[in-house]
Structures are given as C-alpha cells and as structure tokens.
Chain A
C-alpha cells in the first residue's frame, strides 16, 4: 500500500527531522507511530502527502511515486490519502456540511466548489458519514459551535469522504479528554476495518497506541527504533524510545484495560 524508502527531511534551520526512514505498510493495516515530541512523527506523515517536502528518498503509494509528482498529479494523489489533524483543523467559520464537503474539493471544479454545487452522490455520502458518526443534526451548524469530540468527528468525515486508500492521522486525541480520546480512536479503528483502510496514526499516548493498532512503530530523533506488535513494547523498548522512566505501571495498566476495565488513563498521560 505505502512504502517509504530512506526518506529524509532537513529543515532550512538545519534540523534533521528524518534521518532515512524506511517503512512498508500493507493494505488495511493500522499502525501507530509513537515517539517523544520532536521525534519527527508529524514530519513523517506530512512528507507522505507532501505538506512537507521530503529532502531525499522515495515514497510509493501503491505504484505511484509521490516525491516527484508535479502539482496536478500530486493533488490527484492527495485525494487518495485522507488526513486527520491534531487540532481538528476545521475551517471554523464554515458549516459542518461545508467542512465535510471540502473533502471532495479534489474531485470538483472551481466554480462548483464556489457555488457549493456538489454532485448528488457526494451530498448523500456526506449525510451518510455524518449519520455514521452521529452528527446528522449538526449538519448546518457552524464548525466553531461544536465540542472538541464533535469537531474531530467532522474531521474524520472530511477525510473519509475523499474515499481514500490510506488515512494519515496526526495526534487525533491531543486536545481531547481521555474518554473522548478513546471514542475517537475506536471510531477511527472501526471505520478503517469497515472500509479496509490502511492508516498511520501519530500518537503520543502509548496506552492508546497499544489498544488501537495492529502494529507499533517507535520513532526517535528521526529514526525507527522499534517496529513490531503492540505487546512487544516492553519497558526496555519504551526506555529506548522515550528514555528512562518507570514503565511497569503503564504496562500493567494495559493489561487491566484489556480485561475490560475502562477507568482513567492517568498513568498513560504521564508518558507524554
């Protein structure tokens, strides 16, 4: 599905955010990308859809090589990659429906989007998605009237209406409370399963990463230091990624979680 070959990114300031990342994600796999702040998680997923231009390396989406695409083809490629953002990044002064429909911008012409004349199929799909995430009654509300969790659901709809093959998810829970965080992560997981989507989820919360992914990739200072199953995150591995800390508490908590305990995530918060 997605293959990164030796991707590097050096910013103008001289900071080397990615030092040659190679990663392959098969169809339908949800991976969690964990690591401390500044590890390059955000840069990595922005390199995939070239919101940030990689300095070196190759990125293949199915058979398309992304790093050399000219603008027009890049826009077509971006339609296949839905992105969900940290602070929701909804256009706050537009209505919920307009925000969802903006996911179709890559498919419609300028004047169509100017007059908000979207194809019937797109409108139906937008309503279907809003209903799916439980926001049908909010369709004509302005985005800034919604709560954080509701906004992130709209963000998810915007990404899904692109009909993508891959989701790029950047810290989806960073500005949400623990309960809403879980709901959002569960929703993303369900939707990926329903549609057979692959996803890269940046997340600083180790607990959530373990609960809602099939594979975990640990990034540290622009390099992959762990790539394996969620239950392979031993205290040693976490120390390798984040540095010295008492990890036992976090890991024990995971066991409890898996036994159906849904009480707080205070310990997991300590990890970030």
Chain B
C-alpha cells in the first residue's frame, strides 16, 4: 500500500491520442486541412448570383404553399403510376436476372471462370449511378418508361446479385454439406440447402430494392426515361412551383409508405 507516498503521484495526465504515431497523426491533420482549404478555395461560387438568387428562393418557397394538385392532376397521377409500375417491373426483372448471376458470383458454388464473369457483371452494373445507365438506355431504346425499366433492372442486378452472392458465401456450410451428402443433384442441392437459408433475407432485400427503385424511377424522367420526373422538370422550368411541391409531396408520401411497408414486411418474413 503506497498511501504514504501519496504526494509522489503524477499531477498531470493527458488523454492518449487516437493515432499513436505522431508523424502519421500530424500528416493526416495537416493533409486534411490543406485538402479542405483547396477544395473550398477552388469551388467556384458566384456569390453575387447566389445573393440575387435569395429572393428567387423565397419566391419559390412561398409558391410551394399551397401545393397545387388540381390543374395537372391527371398528369401527376399518370406520371406517378408510370413511376410505380416501372419500379415494380424493374425490381421483378432485375431480380430474375440477378438469381443466376448471384449464384454464379458465389465462390462456393461456381467454377472459377463463371465466378469471375459474374463478378465482373455485378461490378460493372454497380459502379454507375442509375441515372447514367438511364441516359444510355434512352439513347438506345428511345424515350419512355422502357428505358427507365432497363436502367433500373441493371441497377437492381448490381445490388441484388452482389448481396445474394455474399449471402450464399456466408451460409452455414454444415447444412449445405449435409444435403449434398444425401447424393442430391446440383439443382436439388440449391433448392434444399441454399434456398431456405438465403430466402428470408432476399425477400427483405427485394422490398428494400423496390423502395430504391421507386426513388430512382421518380427522377429518371428528367432525362426522358419515363415516370413523374419529366413533369417535375417541366414544372420547375415553367416556374409552376406549386405543381412542383405537389409532385414532391406525392413522392415523399409514397416513399414513406413503401419504407414503412417494406420494414414491416421484412420483420414479418424474418
């Protein structure tokens, strides 16, 4: 017991730094500061233009309320429906395409060349935002929802096939081996050992992807790929901000509903 020597205890204490190596720590701090300064410095902000824009912003805000659902109701309704159908069919189509690709991209199921090919497809479709895919789809398939459908389906592959493959790679090996040991064929094996293990999560992911696809289908119209986006763009260009706010409100409500249903369904499935 060293109580008697109480006066000899240190009276200073500093929290040990998060990064122990002081050279590394300082280079990270200085590096981020320099980068941020450069990033902000090179951002071309036209302050006079932004300043002039303020009244325009206020004007936009005031025109937002009350939202005008009336005069273009038919158009909004049509556009929203088109977006919804596009999202649904793209989700279904994307998933159907994802299943073989996802199986192929699972290392424990497929021969190496199939694995590499499928991984490449997944990586390629994941990298580009749906909007870029949609630009090309419009170029090749013409204006309209079909282009949006193609773009979103490809986006769905990148999302769904990747997660499916990862799920299969992480599945319980002993269960899979047990079924294989019964002498089942490859398809029987997939059906009895793999499918039951990954199914619940996949249903949840499908709902989640539907949610994402709807959000995207609401904007691909901006570049001519169908859905409500086209009307949104026109309403902004014509300064009909009350229509804009009506469309945005409808989108928000649908997204909320979808999100609520999908989280409910996911809980119910699992």
Contacts and interface: CB of A to CB of B under 8 A. Distances in A.
A268 to B, nearest CB: 29
Interface string A102-141: 0000000000000010101101101110011000000110
Interface string A82-112: 0000000000000101100100000000000
B6 A124 contact: yes
B15 A123 contact: no
Interface string B1-21: 111001101111111100000
Interface residues of B, number: 13
A118 B14 CA distance: 10
Contacts of A95: 15-16
Given A128-B6, A132-B1, A116 B15 contact: yes
Interface residues of A, number: 17
B3 A126 contact: no
Given A116-B13, A124-B11, 19 more contacts: A95-B15, A95-B16, A97-B13, A116-B14, A116-B15, A120-B11, A120-B12, A121-B11, A123-B10, A123-B11, A123-B12, A123-B13, A124-B7, A124-B9, A127-B13, A128-B9, A131-B2, A131-B9, A132-B1
Contacts of B6: 124, 128
User: Top 9 nearest A-B pairs by Cβ distance?
Assistant: A120-B11, A127-B9, A124-B9, A123-B13, A124-B11, A140-B16, A116-B15, A128-B9, A123-B11
A134 to B, nearest CB: 10
A98 B1 contact: no
Contacts of A126: 13
19 contacts: A97-B13, A98-B15, A101-B13, A116-B14, A116-B15, A118-B13, A120-B12, A123-B13, A124-B7, A124-B10, A124-B11, A126-B13, A127-B9, A127-B10, A128-B6, A128-B9, A132-B3, A139-B13, A140-B16
A28 to B, nearest CB: 19
Contacts of A132: 1, 3
A145 to B, nearest CB: 13
A98 B16 CA distance: 10
Contacts of B3: 128, 132
A177 B6 CA distance: 32
Interface string B198-239: 000000000000000000000000000000000000000000
A129 to B, nearest CB: 10
